[in-house]
Every structure is written in structure tokens, then in C-alpha cells.
Amino acid sequence: MKKGNKYLKSALIEAAHSARGSKTYLCAMYRRTASRKGKKRAGISVAHAILRIAYYLLTRKEMYVDLGKDYFDKQKEQSIVRYSVRRLENLGYNVTIVEPDAS
């Protein structure tokens, strides 16, 4: 992180680490980053995201709308399905994909 207010930094990182237990976009971001880079880097990454969210909310005078804990899964849904089908076919299974009903 760049130089800045050390008290704000520690408060944001503490908030980021507490967000990992929630069911929000920030929790999904924390889990995704922690699996690749570790817990401390994930805390810094989520703290930065919290700061960006706060900045945009204050400058645009909007209400916060959470993207949801499955935001990243929705983004890559097709690639997850293709990957899973390929893995099952490599194990010798015949796979047929049926779209879920929209009811």
C-alpha cells in the first residue's frame, strides 16, 4: 500500500478481515483473493475495495447495492460448466446438460 493515514489503513484492514464471515461481495472477494495470494494480501485488497466503494458512494451520493456472494460465479458460469463437463468426460462419464427451469 502507498503512504497514507495509518489509522485509516488499520481500520480498513480490520473491517476487511471481519467481512470474510459475511455473505456479501466483499466476502467473495476476500475468499477469491486469499486462495491465490494469502490472507494478509486479501485483507489489503478488500480494504482497498472498501475505500473505493466509500469514495464512489460519497462522490455520487448513491446508496450501496451489494453485488452478492455469488457475483464471481455468475461472471464465469459458462466457463465453470465447460470445465466441469470436460473433467467428467475425462473420467469416462457421458454428460448431458439440461438448462434449469426459470420457474
Q: What is the pLDDT of residues 10-21, one digit of tens each?
A: 898 898 888 887
C-alpha cell at 76: 464465469
- Domain segments of the chain as ranges: 6-69
Burial classification of residue 43, based on how many CB atoms lie within 10 Å of its CB (0-12 exposed, 13-18 middle, 19 or more buried): buried
Instruction: Go through the chain and tell me how many residues it has.
Output: 103
**Residue 103: is its pLDDT beyond 60?**
no
What would the mean pLDDT of 75-86 be, rounded to a whole number?
86
pLDDT at residue 79 in the model: 86
Q: What is the pLDDT of residue 55?
A: 92
Residues 47 and 13 sit within 8 Å (Cβ to Cβ): yes
Place of cell 476487511: 16
